[in-house]
């Protein structure tokens, strides 16, 4: 992104797909899952989203990950 000067931003997303053997949920949200407790929170969030008890915009209002966020993280890794 830095070398090509790509101005990219990523917004929140959730996608629910019915497979012939299971249900699948893809989430793009600003969470770090580092333990079982956090994983449980993600599962609860996915359930609430699928039941339409909440929206990602409600949970993470105005969230947007952009080029500047990415560049900041790259600097922190060095």
pLDDT tens profile 10-66? 888 899 888 999 888 888 888 889 999 999 999 999 999 989 999 999 999 988 888
Q: What is the pLDDT of residue 66?
A: 84
Predicted model pTM: 0.68
Higher pLDDT, 77 or 44: 44
Predicted confidence (pLDDT) at residue 3 exceeds the cutoff of 70: no
**DSSP labels, 7-74:** --EE--EEEEEE-SS-EEEEEE-S----SHHHHHHHHHHHHHHHTTS--HHHHSTT--EEHHHHHHHH
> With contact defined as beta carbons under 8 Å apart, do 61 and 55 qualify?
no
Distance, in Å, from the CA atom of 6 to the CA atom of 67, rounded to the nearest integer, reads 8
Structure tokens at 54: 């909440």
Longest Cα separation, the chain: 45
The pLDDT assigned to 21 comes to 93
């Amino acid at each position: 992104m830095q070398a090509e000067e790509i101005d990219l931003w990523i917004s929140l997303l959730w996608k629910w797909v019915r497979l012939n053997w299971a249900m699948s949920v893809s989430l793009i949200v600003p969470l770090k899952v580092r333990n079982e407790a956090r994983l449980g929170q993600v599962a609860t969030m996915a359930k609430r989203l699928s039941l339409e008890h909440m929206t990602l915009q409600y949970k993470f209002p105005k969230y947007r990950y952009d080029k500047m966020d990415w560049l900041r993280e790259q600097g922190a890794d060095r």
